Structures are given as C-alpha cells and as structure tokens.
Amino acid sequence: IGPNPASQKVFLNDPEDILREVRINTIDGKRMPFRLNKNVLDISALPKGIYIIEIETSKGRLAKKLIIER
C-alpha cells in the first residue's frame, strides 16, 4: 500500500492477483466512497484525515492506517 500518507491515489501491490475486496473506513467505522481501477484507489474525493483501509484477499485480511493529506 503506498504512498502513505497520500493525497490523490493509493497503489496496491497485488502480483498474485488475490485481491477480493477493499474498504476504506473512518476511525469511527463509517465506510467511505472511493474508486478502484485495477490496483489503484482514487481517494481524491475524501477529506484529509486518518482512515483504516481494509483489504481482503484469498489469503486473508489486512487492516492498515491510511493518512490522507492535501
């Protein structure tokens, strides 16, 4: 996942093509809208702040903090 902090786009490294679902939530759990094109998340519509990005793959789940700066 990078870059982090980010401002417009976040790139997901998925060389094995195992990505199933991606969610971006606020710290208090509200799901946020974003666009996913292949392995690129367009986060340009999200306000700056700290979010939790949840990634589900065929091998398991991962949750990481994502910082959006403007």
pLDDT of residue 17: 86
Give, rounded to a whole angstrom, the gap between the first and last alpha carbons of the chain.
18
pLDDT of residue 20: 92
Sign of the CA dihedral with 31 first, then 37, 41, and 46 last? negative
pLDDT of residue 47: 96
- Consecutive 10-residue averages of pLDDT for the chain (70 residues): 95 88 96 93 96 94 94
- The answer to pTM > 0.85 is yes
pLDDT of residue 21: 93
